[in-house]
A and B are shown apart, each in its own frame.
Chain A
Amino acid sequence: MAYKFDWGVLLVYRHLLWQGLVLTVQLSALGMVLSLVLGGMIGLGRRAETTPLRWLCGAYIEFFRNIPLIVQLFFWYFAVGLQAFPAAVIGLTVYTSAYIAEVIRSGLQSIPRTQIEAARSFGMTPYQVIRHVVLPQALMRVIPPLGVEFINVIKNSSIAMTISITELTFQTQQIESLTFRGFEAATAITMLYVILALAIVLLMAAIERLVRLDLRVG
């Protein structure tokens, strides 16, 4: 192998790495929170009593899930003409919320209707049924797939580089073009992505443990 490594460039350009990391984390965190809220509402809407609402939520999910994120980002950025960061946040949120809505819907669907009917016949109010029967079970089923979606948000935030967001993947290219040391930069940034994904795995495991404890007590 003719290539000579020079890991020193990482130290020299650490401000670029840091800037990229901060942007990736900001973008992903915003995307996660917003798409959880939006996706939660749409997932609930999928189980609504009124048929038009159910249909509308279904159409939303199918529509945004079946168009590549890069196309959606370009649409918000070039066609609608938003600023880069809002375009990235909106694109990421809308795209992810379609997936999260499916996660929420299947979590709710996994609880047999008979349980709800049984709880109702005990004399529980609809609120009590949701609070004590549906939610605890649904939550446990939803946490692992939500973790997967959150990791996907981090991965997908890399696509924002195509609309000039200077996040981690963009910085790989930046360092490569400044120093021709793309290999070292890509190694470091690949490792950063692995670490971020690991952080999500640990976070979701902690949340799952908390919820489990909470359920056992209450």
Chain B
Amino acid sequence: MDLHVIVENLPYMLTGLQLTVILSVVSMVGSFAGGAAFAVLRLSPWWWLRWPAILYIDIVRTVPLIMVIFWAFFLMPVLTGHATTPVKAALFALILFNTSYMAEVIRAGIQSIPRGQTEASRAIGLTYLQGMRHVVLPQALRHMSPALVSRFIALFMGTSLVYIIGVTEFFRAANNVNNRVYRSYEIYGFVAMVYFVCCYALSLASAALERRFAVPDGGGGETRAGGETRAGVFDRLISTDLRRPE
């Protein structure tokens, strides 16, 4: 064991970690927007909007992230005729990939709110968008929050894969150090520890959110038949791969 190597190269690796965090946050924001759009399309009453959305969501979720990164980096430039930078391609791929998962999380969130509430908000004179903004989304967001944190963890771990197209995020930075000093045990052990600490802390936050919202909500302790809380409805609607997945 030679921890000296770690200490010496810490500033360099931390720059990589910084990029990892930026990539995760930006692609989380991007895929939230994309996911919301696809969730709405998927719930659309018109089949010509619904079917393309379902096709996109289900196909992208069966393809490995590495393949999506390849598409973004090697193939898009061929099609569009514009060269792209690795960081841009990485962001594009991460957003493209995570949008399909986020769409499902958001769809389950919207569907966990009883239809009666949308109808009631229309009845008291709110427009469709106002009803969404003030009635449905605030509640749906609370149900979704643990799943959103899980998706963020998946993204955070997923950013390690953009190493293959030469983005110097944390994992690649660590690899660069290892190629120079050749201390595989120390370096990869350290990398594993950093990822573990970050992701485990986030998963504790996710669990805390889940406990927080496990109580029947709606003020009056409104539950559905069988005592199922609305957060429980969300859990049933969401397919299992969204809780923690790749």
B79 contacts which of A69, A161, A183 (Cβ < 8 Å)?
A: A183
A193 contacts which of B67, B75, B199, B239 (Cβ < 8 Å)?
A: B67
Given contacts A148-B240, A173-B70, contact A67 B195 (CB under 8 A): yes
CB neighbours of A198 from chain B (8 A): 62
A169 touches B64 (CB 8 A): yes
Given contacts A2-B81, A148-B241, contact A189 B67 (CB under 8 A): yes
Q: Is A23 an interface residue (CB 8 A)?
A: no
Q: Is A3 an interface residue (CB 8 A)?
A: yes
Q: Is A151 an interface residue (CB 8 A)?
A: yes
Residue of A nearest to B161 (CB): A70
CB neighbours of A99 from chain B (8 A): 244
Binary contact readout B94-109 vs A (1 if CB under 8 angstroms, 0 otherwise) = 0000000000000000
Residue of B nearest to A187 (CB): B75
Binary contact readout B226-246 vs A (1 if CB under 8 angstroms, 0 otherwise) = 000000000000011100111
Q: Is A19 an interface residue (CB 8 A)?
A: no
Q: Is B203 an interface residue (CB 8 A)?
A: yes
B188 touches A103 (CB 8 A): no
A186 touches B67 (CB 8 A): yes
Closest chain B CB from A65 CB (angstroms): 7
Closest chain A CB from B231 CB (angstroms): 16
Closest chain A CB from B190 CB (angstroms): 10
Q: Is A68 an interface residue (CB 8 A)?
A: yes
Q: Is A72 an interface residue (CB 8 A)?
A: yes
Residue of A nearest to B75 (CB): A183
A183 contacts which of B64, B78, B200 (Cβ < 8 Å)?
A: B78
Closest chain B CB from A137 CB (angstroms): 16
Residue of B nearest to A144 (CB): B240
Among B59, B63, B71, B79, the most chain A Cβ lie within 10 Å of the Cβ of B63
Closest chain B CB from A91 CB (angstroms): 12
Binary contact readout B5-49 vs A (1 if CB under 8 angstroms, 0 otherwise) = 000000000000000000000000000000000000000000000
B70 touches A66 (CB 8 A): no
Residue of A nearest to B73 (CB): A182
A72 touches B66 (CB 8 A): no
C-alpha gap A111/B118 in the complex (Å): 35
A62 touches B200 (CB 8 A): yes
Which residues of B (187-246) have their CB < 8 Å from a CB of A? 188-189, 191-192, 195-196, 199-200, 203, 239-241, 244-246
A66 touches B67 (CB 8 A): no
C-alpha gap A57/B201 in the complex (Å): 19
Q: Is B185 an interface residue (CB 8 A)?
A: yes
Q: Is B145 an interface residue (CB 8 A)?
A: no
B195 touches A172 (CB 8 A): no
B64 touches A182 (CB 8 A): no
A63 touches B62 (CB 8 A): no
7 tightest CB-CB pairs across the interface, nearest first?
A: A197-B62, A158-B64, A66-B199, A79-B184, A145-B240, A68-B157, A148-B241
7 contacts across the A-B interface (CB closer than 8 A): A66-B195, A68-B171, A79-B188, A158-B66, A159-B64, A173-B70, A186-B67
User: Which residues of A does B touch, CB under 8 Å?
Assistant: 1-3, 62-63, 65-72, 74-75, 78-79, 99, 102-103, 144-145, 148-149, 151-152, 154-159, 161-162, 169, 172-173, 176, 182-183, 186, 189-190, 193-194, 196-198
